[in-house]
Structure 1
Amino acid sequence: MANLRVPQRLQRLASTTTFRSLYSRPQQWTPTTLIAHTHHHHRPRYLTTSRPLRRAEATDAFHSQLSNTPPDLLSRPAPPPATPQTLTEKIVQRYSQGLAADKIVKSGDYVTLAPHHCMTHDNSWPVATKFMSIGATEIHDPHQIVMTLDHDVQNKSEKNLKKYSQIEEFAKAQGVDFYPAGRGIGHQIMVEEGYAWPGTMAVASDSHSNMYGGVACLGTPVVRTDAAAIWATGKTWWQIPPIARVNFTGIMPEGVTGKDVIVALCGLFNQDEVLNHAIEFTGERETMWSLPVDDRLAIANMTTEWGALSGLFPIDDVLKGWLRYKATEASMYKAPSPTASLTSDRFNHGRLDELFSSPLAADKGATYAKELFLDLSTLSPYVSGPNSVKVATPLAELEAQNIPINKAYLVSCTNSRRSDIAAAAKVFKNASTTNADGTINPAKIADGVQFYIAAASLPEQIAAEEQGDWQALLDAGAQPLPSGCGPCIGLGTGLLEPGEVGISASNRNFKGRMGSTDAKAYLGSPEVVAASALHGKIAGSGMYERPEDWSGVRLGEGDGIAEEDRMITIEDALDRLVREAEEAVLEGERRIAESSEASETTATSSSAESTTSDERLTDILPGFPEKISGEILWCDADNINTDAIYPGKYTYDDAFSSSPQKMATVTMENYDPAFTKIAQEGDILVGGFNFGCGSSREQAATAILARGIKLAVAGSFGNIFGRNSINNALMGVEVPRLVSRLREVFSSSTSSSPAGSPPAVTEPQANKQSLDSPPPAPVDVKAEKRLTVRTGWTFTWDLRRSKIVVLEGESGKKWEQKVGELPPNVQEIVARGGLEGWVRGEISGKGT
């Protein structure tokens, strides 16, 4: 140790004043619960299929014997960046277009995104209609697009069958991969057919695109206009969200599943901790081994309900084993659909060799907006509800209440794969009895209970049939449904009736989602759903045994790793020392900057406009404003939803919604009827957090524009509203500090709520309100004076320097803050009046 050489990077850091003054300060760690517990063993829950090899095709079954993959199917990793990046940022870097040669993308940046794949489902025809309305005739890259029919597959009406036929004919004419009704749920198809590929980015016009993160593919939802733009040009825009790291510790106990993990996360971290964040799940190797891929898919799928925009797992040995199995399986079977390409084109060992020769991973020292942890060894089975994903209760507590059920559902893309079906079947197999002659009396579902089952895809059902698990559930009295969304989204057979109670393995239990608004819906694992159907009340399978020394779930902020358990090798210690030193220096620099920003500035305008030597300037398109400035119009409420911004009663009145003059008269009407009289053209509208949550109506953005407001600012925006804003040329920027500052100064005169205290978020009352995450809250701010306030403050967005400047009145403080870059590619969308105008320009430029 005496001869140990200290890295030069550490020597340089140690010499800095900031380091010397700050690094000695103790690190703070404030978990919610400080109860430690370890569990020593975990048995894999999933089963491998017993499907036999087909002799004629088995010669190509092993990766050493397979031919090389065409180069265009292989991943093309970008050169490693000099700046540490998260896994999310690395993937976005790979699929961004038009970046400067030295540009390293980071959270907050706007990028032009060309996703590896884009999936649409039953909404393919509305997307096609929009696609054709903007003048497009041919899909830019047919190999990029996947179409599936999965939502309303039980509907045999002439109208629905005609729509399905139109989609199939359009897909065939365009040469895209198409999967018909009954083949499976789109998200499951994306995973099992290899479209959602590790280290790539895939999008879909559906909120549960997050599921692709279970196989290390960055999946995120887009709106229909985005999908039409991707069809026409191969690309759209995206702003990289703040990125949260969720670290798992411990080993998941037997009897606990991935569904329990995500239900617990939604219910225990239920204060919007990851709202509109991209999540990266991490953990030590032993911990991640206790999370098989099917469990990861369930967790990633329901990060949507947690409020996140993606849920990304790492490329690791667990995933590698699953991929190798899928590639071997794909080499033995033919095309999944007469209208789709061969699975083996995507799943093959040559492509996997390429993937694992240099797998993507987050860099050490990458910056995360926040960090949370959950000790899996302290978890027990959890149940969500009723009627809220934000309420999670240990199964044992609900079992003690003897809650009777009427319906049980093993359906959806969340938890209806072969492993889930096997787990449910095992519950009934274990409850069966044997007669004296050796015959078996299969266990039956309880009297008065209806149990519905639908596999996530047809191949998953076939695998379950071959294992005998599908038949075991039928023997128990389960009612089969075609592979599709069905009851999960309130369509088809078996919906909840008024007064009924249901428990489902699906992902969303908002009131009215699965039937009547007067019903109660719970969510649980496949084992819990099956056991509840067996016993006629919410019950467990008995697989989980609570340890005697158990004292509660351990979770909180930070990485959750106790100091005594950290690696103590010289290399790890030095790396940790350097990393913490760098973080301390950055922290000091932030404090100095914030102190400077908060103080009154006496600098001249020329010095304020000066550019430091290391400041990166954004290119501004000719004619595009370098600055946008105006008086702040303050609307002090969180969760101002789309109905508050533009009332639903006008949304489907085409004559009204096509007139900017009429729209301007009702902007923000359901929030404050006086808004239109107070607002002036050129104002900067500032709202609270989760501004624009709720439905996907584009008029919420266009109504603000109609009132002459070109820029909206908020603590945070609802995801879909944020996309619709840029798509319709309404500019927006998130500045949480400004919201906090406005509440400090104006809250006493504008709201009876404590400063910074948002109205409670309530669950939506109908499916139409369940289009964004989290569900919208009614705006319920009891104003003492005014809901809409002219502040006299000036807000300026300096787009060239990627910063905002706030002047708190003529004689008030002036402060500034760096914000994400608005690059030329996004400027072009705004300049052309929105995404549709941009697409028209793109396709006219190609002469199509």
Structure 2
Amino acid sequence: MAQLSRKRHVLKLVDPLTRFKSIGATKFYDPKQPVFALDHDVQNKSDKNLTKYANIEKFAQEHEIDFYPAGRGIGHQVMIEEGYAFPYTLTVASDSHSNMYGGIGALGTPIVRTDAAAIWATGRTWWQIPPVVKVELQGKLPVGVTGKDVIITLCGLFNKDQVLNTAIEFHGGEALQALSVEDRLAISNMTTEWGALAGVFPVDDATIEYLRKRMRRMQLTHFENKNLPPLAPGEKFKHPRINEDTIQALIDNPLRPSPSASYAKTLTLDLSTLSPHVSGPNSVKVATSLAKLEQKDIKINKAYLVSCVNSRATDLRQAAAVMKGKKVKEGVEFYVAAASSEVQKEVEESGDWDVLLEAGAKVLPAGCGPCVGLGTGLLKDGEVGISATNRNFKGRMGSPSALAYLASPAVVAASAVAGKIAAPSNCDISAATPKFTIQDTKPVHSDLDDSSNGQKPEVLPNFPSVIQGELLFCPADNLNTDGIYPGKYTYNDDMTVDDMRKVVMENYDPEFVNIVQKGDVLVGGFNFGTGSSREQAATAIKSRAITIMIAGSYSDIFKRNSINNALLLIESPELVNDLKKEVGTDALTKRTGRQVEIHVAEGKVVVTNTDGTEKLYKVGALGKSVQEIWLANGLEGWVKERL
């Protein structure tokens, strides 16, 4: 376990409250550490949901926790606006897009809800220190090309897990100076989709000016902020986190990488060679130039300018500039939600919000919605949507038979007007060929062995030394959490374990539940469990009486959820590649007939083939920390034992 250092802030809501109480905690280790924000299911006005929100607010008041109600905005945006995510701090959130804080120079990385409860109670959680990748940006973006195009291009160019579970440092001198903080936030946000644990930009003149602008803005809106104390007569406003003193401290005490720093990989990208790109359909790892897609005449049914990646003031202004004097195409629904109430007020004052409304935009509350498959405007069977969101997994924004594309706000706005995927009239979409390089200096891998001292790991009492079962093969790479546990169930608090058993893998393979058997050893592909931080992806698999999984590699967020919920994980790229070759990848789920023995302390997997032959695979042993958490039936039990 590692003590959180520097400033620490944890974000989010429902499950951590339940877990906090269930572990027997009665007080917070540090009430100034957490921040509560209600943002995901804000369109749900049912008595049950409103009661839940009221209980969360009451809980926050009782423990003197900073609280932001539904409608204030998406938690990540609030964390930036209110200075909780501040340069040179470690800022975590129980949401996978907490990488976004890297755009302001904070180390932002996701935790899961059980982690949040543990931190609240003890101030501690665990991490494996990741490899670090250097991304060197060169040149300057052409007119009309945005930060969203940068990260879409990076996801498409380096789509073979080159940065999986790494921390990314962005470098670039003049190239960085030309990138606004809003663009940096968008890029950092979607390093999640790229597979990284964090994506951090340096603190420079642009960062300082952004903070000063925010400070001046808050001086005007101080009396609307219920989390700040009222001013005494004659007292001048000074925000507790974003003020001249804290900003000057950044200038006086800069943090920079050591000139001798070593990196697992170094990637370079020439920004001047980029053009607008679009992700999809239904995959962030497929990026196509807008020029090529425009030629295909792809009609759309819905367009979205929502979510934490691209609904800030600059994004809304870019969309308004495209739509001014125009109307949304008949038959197209165009949904808009500001990232926060502060953002909405700013663009209302500038007149850009009215431009969007006059064009025919349908307004949603400041918060999450269609991006996570909740509320109004979801994609229906066979529909096509283009969105300025960060994720377009199959079924995430509605029907699994719909097609979803991702693009910049300006492209989404132009497409809403044209009724098809289209470029803004003032944008040069000449299909340039991006110039990039990649240099490996160290192998990037992720294992679950926490014993690096060369000694043979011990097997703790009552932990099984050998686990046996039949290999059940789901060969897909990048199988995301929406495929494992659909988003539409995530905020249904009435889902029982038996309910979860019936819907696990529903968006990936509806037949999975009819094929899986008790005691199977599930084998996945590479980057298994990518995507959302929903804990149910791990617990739903566990609900099928699966004790242990094997995959070529895992998304770190799924790994955290699994370890925290006592689902054991092993990585064996060799075994996965053998199964792909010998069993095949045509079936989404296939019983292999192959028996396996996993010797957890020896770090070996023995597979008995259908002809009786055996093959040995060396893997990382499950170390003491993982065993301890498993024996306690998860991190919640581990914390309870220590309170």
TM-score if structure 2 supplies the norm length?
0.81
- The structure 2 residue matched to 1:455, chosen from 331, 338, 356, is 338
- The C-alpha deviation readout for 1:585-629, integer Å capped at 9, x for no partner, is x99xx9xxxxxxxxxxxxxxxxxxxxxxxx9578999x9479996
1:558 is aligned to 2:439? yes
- Structure 2 letter corresponding to 1:839: V
Q: Which residue of 1 aligns with 2:9?
A: 117
Shift of 1:729: 4.5
- Is the 1:256–1:380 Cα contact (8 Å) retained in structure 2? yes
- Structure 1 letter corresponding to 2:23: I
SS at match of 1:187: helix
Distance 1:336 1:202 in 2: 25
Distance 1:466 1:307 in 2: 38
Shift of 1:752: 3.8
- Structure 2 letter corresponding to 1:323: L
Shift of 1:691: 4.8
- The structure 2 residue matched to 1:271, chosen from 160, 163, 180, is 160
Q: Which residue of 2 aligns with 1:173?
A: 62
Q: Which residue of 2 aligns with 1:240?
A: 129
- Structure 2 letter corresponding to 1:166: N
- 1:428-507 alignment runs, 5 A limit: 428-429=323-324, 442-507=325-390
Shift of 1:285: 0.7
Indicate how the Cα distance of structure 1 residues 286 and 160 shifts in structure 2: closer, same or farther if over 3 A, else same. same
Distance 1:655 1:487 in 2: 27
- The structure 2 residue matched to 1:385, chosen from 258, 261, 280, is 280
TM-score if structure 1 supplies the norm length?
0.63
- The structure 2 residue matched to 1:519, chosen from 399, 402, 410, is 402
- Is the 1:646–1:703 Cα contact (8 Å) retained in structure 2? no
- The C-alpha deviation readout for 1:74-117, integer Å capped at 9, x for no partner, is xxxxxxxxxxxxxxxxxxxxx942xxxxxxxxxxxxxx778710
- The structure 2 residue matched to 1:293, chosen from 178, 181, 186, is 181
Shift of 1:217: 1.6
Which is worse superposed, 827-836 or 381-390?
Answer: 827-836
- Is the 1:182–1:458 Cα contact (8 Å) retained in structure 2? yes
- Is the 2:523–2:549 Cα contact (8 Å) retained in structure 1? yes
Q: Which residue of 2 aligns with 1:839?
A: 639
1:126 is aligned to 2:15? yes
Distance 2:38 2:24 in 1: 25
Shift of 1:332: 4.6
- Structure 1 letter corresponding to 2:100: M
Indicate how the Cα distance of structure 1 residues 251 and 167 shifts in structure 2: closer, same or farther if over 3 A, else same. same
- Is the 1:381–1:394 Cα contact (8 Å) retained in structure 2? yes
- Is the 2:134–2:265 Cα contact (8 Å) retained in structure 1? yes
Shift of 1:693: 6.0
- The structure 2 residue matched to 1:183, chosen from 60, 72, 83, is 72
- Is the 2:500–2:540 Cα contact (8 Å) retained in structure 1? no
- Structure 2 letter corresponding to 1:303: T
Which is worse superposed, 290-299 or 305-314?
Answer: 305-314
Distance 1:625 1:159 in 2: 44
Indicate how the Cα distance of structure 1 residues 326 and 675 shifts in structure 2: closer, same or farther if over 3 A, else same. same
- The structure 2 residue matched to 1:397, chosen from 292, 297, 314, is 292
- The structure 2 residue matched to 1:216, chosen from 105, 112, 118, is 105
Distance 2:120 2:399 in 1: 37
Distance 2:180 2:301 in 1: 32
- The C-alpha deviation readout for 1:763-815, integer Å capped at 9, x for no partner, is xxxxxxxxxxxxxxx7446x8xx453447xx85647xxxxx579999xx9999
1:696 is aligned to 2:535? yes
- The structure 1 residue matched to 2:203, chosen from 315, 329, 332, is 315
SS at match of 2:32: helix
SS at match of 2:127: strand
- The C-alpha deviation readout for 1:669-695, integer Å capped at 9, x for no partner, is 869757848x8xxxxx98763456686
Indicate how the Cα distance of structure 1 residues 364 and 380 shifts in structure 2: closer, same or farther if over 3 A, else same. same
Distance 2:94 2:249 in 1: 30
| Aligned alpha-carbon RMSD (Å) | 4.3
Indicate how the Cα distance of structure 1 residues 339 and 788 shifts in structure 2: closer, same or farther if over 3 A, else same. farther
Distance 1:215 1:647 in 2: 32
Q: Which residue of 2 aligns with 1:37?
A: none
Indicate how the Cα distance of structure 1 residues 334 and 731 shifts in structure 2: closer, same or farther if over 3 A, else same. same
- Structure 1 letter corresponding to 2:261: A
- The C-alpha deviation readout for 1:540-572, integer Å capped at 9, x for no partner, is 12333367xx7512224239xxxxxxxxxxxxx
Indicate how the Cα distance of structure 1 residues 461 and 126 shifts in structure 2: closer, same or farther if over 3 A, else same. same
Shift of 1:830: 4.8
Q: Which residue of 1 aligns with 2:53?
A: 164
SS at match of 1:128: helix
Shift of 1:829: 4.0
Shift of 1:419: 0.8
Q: Which residue of 2 aligns with 1:373?
A: 268
Shift of 1:288: 0.8
- The C-alpha deviation readout for 1:409-436, integer Å capped at 9, x for no partner, is 222111111111111121234xxxxxxx
- 1:791-830 alignment runs, 5 A limit: 795=599, 797=601, 829-830=629-630
Indicate how the Cα distance of structure 1 residues 445 and 142 shifts in structure 2: closer, same or farther if over 3 A, else same. same
- 1:17-96 alignment runs, 5 A limit: 96=2
1:716 is aligned to 2:611? no
Shift of 1:175: 0.8
1:261 is aligned to 2:150? yes
Distance 1:674 1:821 in 2: 24
- Is the 1:262–1:299 Cα contact (8 Å) retained in structure 2? yes
Shift of 1:351: 1.3
Which is worse superposed, 304-313 or 494-503?
Answer: 494-503
- Rg: which structure is higher? 1
Q: Which residue of 2 aligns with 1:353?
A: 248
- The C-alpha deviation readout for 1:336-382, integer Å capped at 9, x for no partner, is 53246798111112112222323223333434333333221111111
Shift of 1:393: 1.7
- Is the 1:638–1:690 Cα contact (8 Å) retained in structure 2? no
Distance 2:500 2:278 in 1: 43
Indicate how the Cα distance of structure 1 residues 133 and 629 shifts in structure 2: closer, same or farther if over 3 A, else same. closer
- The C-alpha deviation readout for 1:698-730, integer Å capped at 9, x for no partner, is 4467569x77x6x76654224344223332445
SS at match of 2:193: helix
Indicate how the Cα distance of structure 1 residues 357 and 545 shifts in structure 2: closer, same or farther if over 3 A, else same. same
Indicate how the Cα distance of structure 1 residues 536 and 135 shifts in structure 2: closer, same or farther if over 3 A, else same. same
Indicate how the Cα distance of structure 1 residues 535 and 657 shifts in structure 2: closer, same or farther if over 3 A, else same. closer
- The structure 2 residue matched to 1:542, chosen from 413, 418, 425, is 425
- Is the 1:199–1:216 Cα contact (8 Å) retained in structure 2? yes
Indicate how the Cα distance of structure 1 residues 829 and 629 shifts in structure 2: closer, same or farther if over 3 A, else same. closer
Distance 2:427 2:402 in 1: 29
Indicate how the Cα distance of structure 1 residues 365 and 731 shifts in structure 2: closer, same or farther if over 3 A, else same. farther
1:788 is aligned to 2:594? yes
Shift of 1:304: 2.2
Q: Which runs of 5+ in 1 are unaligned?
A: 1-94, 98-111, 430-441, 560-582, 591-614, 659-667, 680-684, 754-758, 761-777, 799-803, 844-848
Indicate how the Cα distance of structure 1 residues 721 and 779 shifts in structure 2: closer, same or farther if over 3 A, else same. farther
- The structure 2 residue matched to 1:426, chosen from 279, 303, 321, is 321
- The structure 2 residue matched to 1:410, chosen from 305, 309, 312, is 305
- Structure 2 letter corresponding to 1:726: I
Q: Which residue of 2 aligns with 1:284?
A: 172
Q: Which residue of 1 aligns with 2:140?
A: 251
Distance 2:438 2:298 in 1: 34
Q: Which residue of 1 aligns with 2:233?
A: none
Distance 2:400 2:38 in 1: 27
Indicate how the Cα distance of structure 1 residues 686 and 415 shifts in structure 2: closer, same or farther if over 3 A, else same. closer
Q: Which residue of 2 aligns with 1:92?
A: none
- Is the 1:212–1:297 Cα contact (8 Å) retained in structure 2? yes
- Structure 2 letter corresponding to 1:179: Y
Distance 2:96 2:175 in 1: 28
Q: Which residue of 2 aligns with 1:769?
A: none
- Structure 1 letter corresponding to 2:215: A
Which is worse superposed, 254-263 or 502-511?
Answer: 502-511
